[in-house]
Amino acid sequence: MRRLPELLAPAGSPEALRAAVQHGADAVYLGWGSFNARRGARNFSDEEFAEALAYCHVRGVRVFLTLNTLLTDQELPQALETAAAACRLGADAVLVQDWGLLTLLRLCLPDLPLHASTQMSVFTSGGAREACGDGCQRVVIARECSAEDTEAIIRNCPAEIEVFAHGALCMCYSGQCAMSALIGGRSGNRGRCAQPCRLPYGVNEPAKKHFPLSLKDSCLAGELGNMARMGVSCVKLEGRMKRPEYVAAVTRIYARLLAEGRGPTAAENRELETAFSRSGFTSWYWQGKHGAGMFGVRPENTPEPKALFAEVRAAYEKDSLRTVPVDLTCRVSAGAPCALTAADSAGHSVTVSGPVPEAARSRALTAEELETRLRKTGGTAYACREVTVELDGGLSLPASAVNALRRDALSALTEARVHPPLRRELPPPAPPENTCGSGALQWTVSVTGMAQLSPALMALNPARVCVPLELLPSLSTLPAGETEWCAILPRVWRDRDEPQLKTWLDHARSLGVTGALAGNIGHLPLLRDSGLYIYGDFGLNVFNSRSLEYLRKKGLRSACVSFELRFSQIRDLRKPLPAEAIVYGRLPLMITENCLLENSGSCRCDQPNFLRDRTGAAFPLLPAYGHRTEIQNDRPLWLAELPDFRRLGLRYARLRFTTESPAECVQVFRDYLEGAPARGTFTRGLYKRGVE
Give residue-wise pLDDT tens across range 278-306.
Answer: 999 999 999 999 999 999 999 888 889 99
Q: What is the pLDDT of residues 481-503, one digit of tens each?
A: 899 999 999 999 999 999 999 99
Burial pattern 117-148, b for ≥16 Cβ within 10 A else e, equals bbbbbbbbbbbbbbbbebbbbbbbbbbbbbbe
pLDDT at 145: 98
Q: Give the whole-angstrom CA distance, residue 617 versus residue 241.
A: 29
- Whole-model pTM? 0.95
Q: Does pLDDT of 231 surpass 80?
A: yes
Q: What is the pLDDT of residues 89-106, one digit of tens each?
A: 999 999 999 999 999 999
The CATH classification number of 442-585+637-674 equals 3.20.20.380
Phi-psi region of 278 (alpha: psi -120 to 50; beta: other; left: phi over 0): beta
pLDDT at 1: 43
Smallest CA-to-CA distance from 340 within 378, 383, 390 is with 390
DSSP element (H, E) containing 287: helix 284-287
- 6-169+215-317 matches 442-585+637-674 in fold: yes
Q: What is the pLDDT of residues 117-145, one digit of tens each?
A: 999 999 999 999 999 999 999 999 999 99
pLDDT at 517: 98
Work out the average pLDDT over 627-653: 97
Q: Residue 612, exposed/middle/buried by CB under 10 A (0-12, 13-18, 19+)? A: buried
Per-residue pLDDT band at 38 (split at 50, 70, 90): low
pLDDT at 40: 59
- Helix spans in 448-566 (H): 455-458, 498-511, 523-527, 545-553
Residue type, 591: I
Smallest CA-to-CA distance from 250 within 222, 221, 225 is with 221
Q: Residue 621, exposed/middle/buried by CB under 10 A (0-12, 13-18, 19+)? A: buried
Name which of 18-27, 202-211, 495-504 the model is least confident about. Answer: 202-211
Q: Give the whole-angstrom CA distance, residue 657 versus residue 659.
A: 6
Q: What is the pLDDT of residues 234-289, one digit of tens each?
A: 999 999 989 999 999 999 999 999 999 999 999 999 999 999 999 999 999 999 99
The top-level CATH class assigned to 6-169+215-317 is alpha beta
Work out the average pLDDT over 44-54: 94
Smallest CA-to-CA distance from 197 within 543, 587, 591 is with 591
Work out the average pLDDT over 38-53: 82
Residue type, 70: L
SS3 31: coil
Sequence-distant (≥ 6) Cβ neighbours of residue 621 within 8 angstroms = 203, 596, 597, 609, 610, 611, 629, 630, 631, 632
Question: Is the Cα dihedral 179, 182, 185, 188 positive or negative?
Answer: positive
pLDDT at 661: 97
The secondary structure of residue 665, as a DSSP letter, is: H
Smallest CA-to-CA distance from 393 within 435, 465, 334 is with 334
136-140 and 160-167 as β-strands: parallel, antiparallel, unpaired?
parallel
Contact present, 99 and 546 (Cβ < 8 Å)? yes
Work out the average pLDDT over 214-237: 97
Contact present, 19 and 245 (Cβ < 8 Å)? yes
Work out the average pLDDT over 419-433: 96
Q: What is the pLDDT of residues 579-625, one digit of tens each?
A: 999 999 999 999 999 999 998 877 787 789 999 999 999 999 999 99
Q: Give the whole-angstrom CA distance, residue 8 versus residue 17.
A: 11
Q: What is the DSSP string of 374-396?
A: HT--TTSSEEEEEEEEEE-TTEE
Q: Which residues pair with 384 in a beta bridge?
A: 326
The secondary structure of residue 215, as a DSSP letter, is: B
Contact present, 332 and 338 (Cβ < 8 Å)? yes
Contact present, 290 and 268 (Cβ < 8 Å)? no
Smallest CA-to-CA distance from 476 within 450, 454, 445, 500 is with 450
Q: What are phi and psi of 401, to 5 degrees?
A: -70, -40
Sequence-distant (≥ 6) Cβ neighbours of residue 474 within 8 angstroms = none
Contact present, 577 and 555 (Cβ < 8 Å)? no
Sketch the domain layout of the chain as residue ranges: 6-169+215-317, 324-418, 442-585+637-674
Q: Which residues pair with 144 in a beta bridge?
A: none
Contact present, 166 and 238 (Cβ < 8 Å)? yes
Q: What is the pLDDT of residues 375-395, one digit of tens each?
A: 999 999 999 999 999 999 999
**CA 44, chain centre distance (Å):** 19
SS3 566: coil
Percent of the chain with pLDDT over 90: 92
Q: Give the whole-angstrom CA distance, residue 329 versus residue 384.
A: 11
SS3 648: coil
Per-residue pLDDT band at 39 (split at 50, 70, 90): low
What is the number of other CB atoms lying within 10 angstroms of the CB of residue 426? 9
What is the number of other CB atoms lying within 10 angstroms of the CB of residue 641? 12
Rounded to the nearest integer, the mean pLDDT of the chain is 95
Q: Residue 262, exposed/middle/buried by CB under 10 A (0-12, 13-18, 19+)? A: middle
Q: Give the whole-angstrom CA distance, residue 394 versus residue 402.
A: 16
Q: Give the whole-angstrom CA distance, residue 466 versus residue 139.
A: 31
Contact present, 567 and 688 (Cβ < 8 Å)? yes
Q: What are phi and psi of 292, to 5 degrees?
A: -60, -25
Q: Does pLDDT of 20 surpass 80?
A: yes
515-518 and 533-536 as β-strands: parallel, antiparallel, unpaired?
parallel
pLDDT at 244: 96
Work out the average pLDDT over 399-417: 97
How many Å is the Cα radius of gyration of the chain?
29
Work out the average pLDDT over 52-58: 98
Terminal alpha carbon distance of the chain: 48
Q: Give the whole-angstrom CA distance, residue 214 versus residue 170.
A: 8
